[in-house]
Chain A
Amino acid sequence: GAGVSQSPRYKVAKRGQDVALRCDPISGHVSLFWYQQALGQGPEFLTYFQNEAQLDKSGLPSDRFFAERPEGSVSTLKIQRTQQEDSAVYLCASSSYRGAGEKLFFGSGTQLSVL
């Protein structure tokens, strides 16, 4: 595709609900990253995929967060039993390199609000 696409753009969830956020990376990009960005802060690393393999999930804040990329292209970030502290923008990025390489391409993000 032309760029990294994320959906939905905005998501409002009641506390305790499960949510699923989708990322379509640039076609052919090997690496895919998820970041969490709180208001006024920089992006914080959540997890990294190389093709379908999840090589690093050290940034996932709790076992309520789960990510997958089963066919090495589209990825889904799932948050179970959402809490207010999960409210943030979730950014997806992809790279043609193994790892971040020399440039990440970001989507516009999903803004999650947990009420």
Chain B
Amino acid sequence: SQQGEEDPQALSIQEGENATMNCSYKTSINNLQWYRQNSGRGLVHLILIRSNEREKHSGRLRVTLDTSKKSSSLLITASRAADTASYFCATDGGAQKLVFGQGTRLTINP
């Protein structure tokens, strides 16, 4: 079974707008990661945030983590058509494997 839930399941915005996706998880974690998956391809690692961090930035990506609420958010600023993809959060849950959420399908309209 999957650890987390992403919200929303699907998001459609105009190019240049910001996109925010949320992830909730169930168990305690060491870190939380976000991945992107283009249609028909494998997943690509975007960013990792550790359990003792609250916010992290990488280029146009901003990730927050609230361990008290067991939730994280991914913000993509100034979206581009190339950002169209599915986005997944993944947690380690203290174990050696990653457990993925259901994903958010993001569509950027030109």
Q: Point out residues on A near B: beta carbons under 8 Å.
A: 4, 31, 33, 35, 41-45, 48, 50, 55-56, 91, 93, 98-100, 102-109
Contact = CB atoms under 8 A, between A and B. Distances in A.
A42 B97 contact: no
B97 A103 contact: no
A57 to B, nearest CB: 11
Interface residues of B, number: 22
Contacts of A31: 96
Contacts of A50: 96
A60 to B, nearest CB: 13
A11 to B, nearest CB: 15
B29 to A, nearest CB: 12
B42 A107 contact: yes
Contact of A106 (B31, B42, B97, B103): B42
Nearest to B41: A108
16 contacts: A41-B2, A41-B102, A42-B100, A42-B101, A42-B103, A45-B99, A93-B42, A98-B96, A99-B92, A99-B95, A99-B96, A103-B48, A104-B43, A106-B42, A108-B41, A108-B42
